[in-house]
Amino acid sequence: MTEDQSDVILEVRNLVVEFSSEDGPLRAVDGVSFAVRRGEIVGLVGESGAGKTLTSEAMLRLVRCPPGRISGEVRFRGQNLLALDEPALAGIRGKEIAMIFQNPGASLNPVFRVGDQLLEAMRLHLREPARSLRERVGEILGRVGIPSAATRARDYPHQFSGGMAQRVMIGIGISCVPSLLIADEPTTALDVTIQAQVLALLRSLARELGVAVLLVSHDLGIISQMCHRVLVMYAGRIVEEADVATIFRAPAHPYTRGLIDCLPRMDGSARLGTIAGVMPGLRSLPSGCPFHPRCPLAEPRCAEEAPKLRSAGDHHSAACLLVGT
């Protein structure tokens, strides 16, 4: 995070999301800090329950508070999003920062035509005559790869397949030319050939428009093929951060290493690596390093001291006491 501070469009500092419960406050996101630069695709990867979706939602205050409580700082182009009032934030959501979600069918309103929903999204944020916006609808739908876009704009969401609906969502996302797109498991509901089409579209759009993308995914393969930089999350914390080549070639955190070993290789090796046990629930977080009960390298001190992110090389950091010693 040393190079070119001016390029940073999003900086998250010490983001914490807590929920109150009968057993006291539960920390679902615990001190997450990272930055996203212009035009960069950053992957946020982790297993279910790691807090990755919550992190992305908390950044835009999409977590209902109460019961949640968000603290920390989310600086987007110099403003702290967590300190903005609701109208100001609404002006940023959907315009400067767009979001697409896992289930495209549920994100579109079934009773309005697809083109009208796209138009509505633009009218909310862009002060342009409706006429010129209307012309852009077909253009955008064409750009996201919807065949005969002008006709399809008059169709209803149920007439779109999952892949096509996700293209529409991407179209809505980019319609106001945001500087950051948050994509939360955008292709998890799609088949592999359709997933490839949608991800290829996302990557080309990001490059063309210079949009930064925060890609939330559980799929290491997708992360590897899509991202420039990767954040690995475990039990509400970021445990490793590095550029994509480093993280898969020389992972520093035992969890990252274990995760990669768990993947079946296409070369057909006989046995898979495993990580013993499961991720701890919020109610039963262990002391010290949250990974230590499952860690093959754990030492006694791992149960006492919670590791902070520390340097493991160039632009590479990991939250492990064994790193750098």
Token pair recorded at residue 9: 């469009």
Residue with smaller CB distance to other proteins, 65 or 262: 262
CB atoms within 10 A of CB 275: 18
The single residue among 84, 133, 196, 209 that binds other proteins, judged by CB under 8 A, is: 196
Minimal distance, residue 232 CB to other proteins, in Å = 12
Window 20-49: contact mask with other proteins (x via CB under 8 A)? --x------------------------xx-
Asked if 194 is part of the footprint of other proteins (rule: CB under 8 A), the reply reads yes
- When the beta carbons of 268 and 300 are compared against other proteins, the nearer one is 268
- Is residue 181 at the binding interface for other proteins, with CB under 8 A as the rule? no
Number of residues that bind other proteins (CB under 8 A): 56
C-alpha–C-alpha distance, residues 231 and 239, integer Å: 8
Distance CA 88, CA 91 (A): 5
Task: Name the minimum Å distance from CB 76 to other proteins.
Answer: 26
- C-beta of 305: minimal distance to other proteins in Å? 21
d(CA 115, CA 319): 46
**Least distance from other proteins to the Cβ atom of residue 120, Å:** 26
Nearer to other proteins among residue 71 and residue 161 (C-beta): 161
Report how far residue 199's alpha carbon sits from residue 299's, in angstroms, rounded to the nearest whole number.
Answer: 41
Choose which of 91, 210, 281, 324 interacts with other proteins (CB under 8 A).
Answer: 281
Instruction: Choose, by CB under 8 A, the member of 258, 288, 290, 307 that binds other proteins.
Output: 258
274 near other proteins, rule: CB under 8 A: yes
Rounded least distance, CB 216 to other proteins, Å: 15
By CB under 8 A, which span of 103-111, 126-134, 136-144, 161-169 interacts with other proteins?
A: 161-169
- Report how far residue 295's alpha carbon sits from residue 318's, in angstroms, rounded to the nearest whole number: 14
* Alpha carbons 121 and 195: distance in angstroms, whole number: 25
- Candidate segments 56-64, 208-216, 222-230, 300-308, binder of other proteins by CB under 8 A: 222-230
Q: Judged by CB, which is closer to other proteins: 279, or 309?
A: 279
Burial readout 8-17 (b: 16 or more C-beta within 10 A, e: otherwise): bbbbbeebbb
Determine the Cα–Cα distance for residues 256 and 273; give it in Å rounded to an integer.
12
Q: Is 164 in the site for other proteins (CB under 8 A)?
A: yes
Non-local CB neighbours of 289 within 8 Å, separated by 6+ positions = 295, 298, 302, 303, 305, 306, 307, 319, 320, 321
Among 1, 65, 245, 250, binds other proteins (CB under 8 A): 245
Query: Do 293 and 280 meet the contact criterion of CB atoms below 8 Å apart?
Result: yes
How far apart are CB 38 and other proteins at their closest, in Å? 19
Q: How far is the CB of 125 from other proteins (least distance, A)?
A: 28
Q: CB of 108 within 8 A of CB of 114?
A: yes
Sheet holding 8-19, edge to edge: 26-37, 8-19, 68-76, 79-80
Beta bridge partners of 99: 182
Interface ranges with other proteins (CB under 8 A): 22, 47-48, 161, 163-164, 191-197, 199-200, 202-204, 218-222, 224-226, 243-246, 248-249, 258-266, 268, 271-281, 283-284, 293
